[in-house]
């Protein structure tokens, strides 16, 4: 028997049982629960066909055509659900198992899918108001006040690597750049997978925060701009970040240049040239021309030096414009990530930012 659930109860059970999104592949690609598996009732084309019939002929005919489309898929659907349950560890559930099902707005697709599974021995829960209620849940989740510390520093300071070390030491860290598949600069897409949709970025980000739990726990974030590539930080989170304390690591420019050459030196001249051209107006025609010439001769250190002139100014200008009042500067003699992570944690304790380690 199917038992519809509200979003909070649905999310609680999602920690234990498989979640099946029965929407079309196109809907799923645009945005989905990060932990859901897509077993679509209809392809994108089939969904469009049924929708057209529903509008032009009526509900009964649309249901009839829908069954004609879905019936040949029944065996494959059952096989896929069985495999999905087998891959879900430690549910404590007996065979054939319990699954959670949702569609766009908790309508016919999820209901029919759930009833079909019920007829084949499964226990099911559908989501009241479907994926739409999940999206409201996600948007509302960013209204929760978070206890945030920002790690700042000019480009090439190794902030992402420092945060990874801090996470390994037991601190709560949310890697915004990893979630956005982008390192934040004009060079940020190099070596990264395609960026998620804005909707999916928000879903993934909300899920990361939910894993951390209670609001009083301290969360480390990198000091980012409002946009990371094409992904925008949700406004409530951005406002919280603007009032959060910052530990800003100051790394010598020579060390930062060496890190950037190490990080980006293996990319082709064509790829690097394309990135330089993205910021040529901000660099200025002469500096952009010089950077491209240095790139052509293989002098990557000079390329990094020239681009840092722009990025350092932009970073410091943004700090001034945001009028941060709680910025704590930590001088670091080199770019040793392990050493700097220790320094950051020790410094956070000294200035009483309530870190756990």
Q: Which residues are catalytically annotated?
A: 103
How is residue 10 written in tokens? 């649905």
Closest CA to 209 of 285, 128, 144, 274: 144
93 DSSP assignment: P
- Please state, in angstroms and as integers, the Cα–Cα distance from residue 164 to each residue in 151, 158, 224, 227, 247, following that order: 12, 10, 16, 21, 15
Burial of 33 (0-12, 13-18, 19+ CB in 10 A): buried
Both tokens of 277, joined, read 């051209």
Q: What angle do CA 337, 340, 346 make, to 5 degrees?
A: 145
Residue 220: strand, helix, or coil: strand
Residue 138's Cβ-side half-sphere holds a number of Cα atoms within 13 Å equal to: 22
- Cβ-based neighbours of 347, under 8 Å, separated by 6 or more: 247, 328, 330
List residues bridging with 192 in a β-sheet.
Answer: none
């Amino acid at each position: 028997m199917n038992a519809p659930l509200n979003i909070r109860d649905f999310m609680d059970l999602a920690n234990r049982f498989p979640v099946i999104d029965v929407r079309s592949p196109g809907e799923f690609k645009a945005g989905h629960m990060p932990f859901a598996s897509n077993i679509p009732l209809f392809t994108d084309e089939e969904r469009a066909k049924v929708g057209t019939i529903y509008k032009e002929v009526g509900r009964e005919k649309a249901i009839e055509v829908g069954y004609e489309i879905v019936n040949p898929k029944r065996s494959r659907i059952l096989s896929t659900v069985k495999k999905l349950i087998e891959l879900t560890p430690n549910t404590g559930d007996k065979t054939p198992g319990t699954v959670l099902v949702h569609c766009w707005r908790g309508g016919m697709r999820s209901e029919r899918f759930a009833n079909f599974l019920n007829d084949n021995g499964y226990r099911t829960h559908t989501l009241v108001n479907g994926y739409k209620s999940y999206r409201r849940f996600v948007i509302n989740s960013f209204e929760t006040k978070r206890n945030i510390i920002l790690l700042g520093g000019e480009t090439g300071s190794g902030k992402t690597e420092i945060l990874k070390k801090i996470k390994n030491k037991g601190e709560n860290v949310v890697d915004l750049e990893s979630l956005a598949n982008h390192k934040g600069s004009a060079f940020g897409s190099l070596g990264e997978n395609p960026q998620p949709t804005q909707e999916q970025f928000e879903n993934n980000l909300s899920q990361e925060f939910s894993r951390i739990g209670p609001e009083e726990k301290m969360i480390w974030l990198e000091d980012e701009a409002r946009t990371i590539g094409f992904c925008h930080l949700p406004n409530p989170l951005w406002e919280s970040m603007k009032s959060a304390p910052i530990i800003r690591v100051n790394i010598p420019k020579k060390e930062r240049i060496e890190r950037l050459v190490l990080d980006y030196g293996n990319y082709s001249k064509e790829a690097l040239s394309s990135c330089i051209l993205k910021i040529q107006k901000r660099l200025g025609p002469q500096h952009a021309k010089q950077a491209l010439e240095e790139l052509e001769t293989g002098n990557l250190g000079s390329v990094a030096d020239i681009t840092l002139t722009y990025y350092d100014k932009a970073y410091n200008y943004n700090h001034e414009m945001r009028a941060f009042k709680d910025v704590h500067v930590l001088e670091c003699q080199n770019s040793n990530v392990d050493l700097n992570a220790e320094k950051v944690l020790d410094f956070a304790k000294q200035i009483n930012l309530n870190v756990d380690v």
